[in-house]
Amino acid sequence: MGVENLPGYPWPSAFIGNAAVGYKIALCQRDLAIYGTILIAGLVFGVLRRFGKVRPLPLWAYALLALPMLVDGGSQWLSYLISFFYARFPTRESTPFLRVLTGGLFGLGTVWLAYPHVQQAMEEFRETLHQRFGWK
């Protein structure tokens, strides 16, 4: 008799969810928003860089774009942590809209901060290769 067949044992693979705790979901809404935004913003960056140099986002602006995700996800995590030790403490659950919004802002900020720096590094690397090997 396997553990999953024990009566009353909440085996994770057999538990599909209920109205009280929610149902299983195969993806993280915030991660999907982050990676989807990185894909779309990366494609937009590829088009915009052909028209001129795209300046990187300043670190303070990146922090402003990442702050909503930190507050939303961090407050939810902190409420779970506190309620683990104090069962009467209410937990905070983020909404799907907030997860997508904060993930999208973070993904946009990440592309705007990183891609111009990567572009500059690749241009310098290409120039070095041209000088070293005499490419034209």
User: What are the boundaries of each domain within the chain?
Assistant: 27-133
Q: Are strands 17-18 and 22-23 parallel, antiparallel or unpaired?
A: antiparallel
- What one-letter code names the amino acid at 3? V
pLDDT (average), residues 110-115 = 97
To which H or E segment does residue 23 belong?
Answer: strand 22-23
CA–CA separation, 106 and 33 (whole Å): 9
Structure confidence by residue, pLDDT tens digits, 13-52: 666 777 777 777 677 899 999 999 999 999 999 999 999 8
Would the CA dihedral through 115, 109, 80, 94 be positive or negative? negative
The per-residue pLDDT for 21 is 75
Q: Please tell me what DSSP assigns to residue 55.
A: P
Instruction: For residue 125, name the pLDDT band (cuts at 50, 70, 90).
Output: very high
Residues in contact with 70: Cβ distance below 8 Å, sequence separation at least 6, in sequence order: none
The per-residue pLDDT for 70 is 95
The per-residue pLDDT for 10 is 53
Q: What are phi and psi of 99, to 5 degrees?
A: -65, -45
Instruction: For residue 90, name the pLDDT band (cuts at 50, 70, 90).
Output: confident
